[in-house]
Amino acid sequence: MNIKIFFQRIAILIYIVLSVLYLTWRIGFTLNMDQLVASMLLLFADVVMCVSAILFVVSLWRKPVCNKSVGSKTEPFSVDVFVPTYNEDCAMLETTLQHCIEMDCPHTTWLLDDDDRPEMKALADRLGVGYIARTENTGAKAGNQNNAL
């Protein structure tokens, strides 16, 4: 097992234990009998928050498997990641593209440029991502994505 996954699972278990201890303390020692309705409403809110947070962290337990075969194919699947841009700053897009490149699953990252800007082409070339510029700017960013498809 990966050390990162091991520590993530330990953190999940610690979070669940602390949440259960918190709810036990909350139910056992903080109810105000003089203001029972308000106290119960706040307790209900705490229980809902804790249960939803526990369900969220439990959903993080299993690491997604990216190399599943699709249908009768035996090769791993791959996805295309589209990053549409119109007039965004180059530095912001570089950060976004860098995070897209670092995704775990097999993928190809594409920069979809609505303005056909040379600095965007240079950024895509420098980061090693695909670049698609369009000449007809209809349909806003959805049109940009449809053009890439």
Domain extents for the chain? 3-59, 79-148
This prediction has a pTM of: 0.55
Spell out the long-range contacts of 122-130 with Cβ–Cβ below 8 A and sequence spacing 24 or more.
123/90, 123/93, 123/94, 123/97, 124/97, 127/94, 127/97, 127/98, 127/101, 128/101, 129/83, 129/97, 129/100, 129/101
pLDDT tens readout for residues 48-60: 999 999 999 998 8
pLDDT at position 67 is 55
What is the pLDDT confidence band of residue 133, given thresholds at 50, 70 and 90?
A: confident
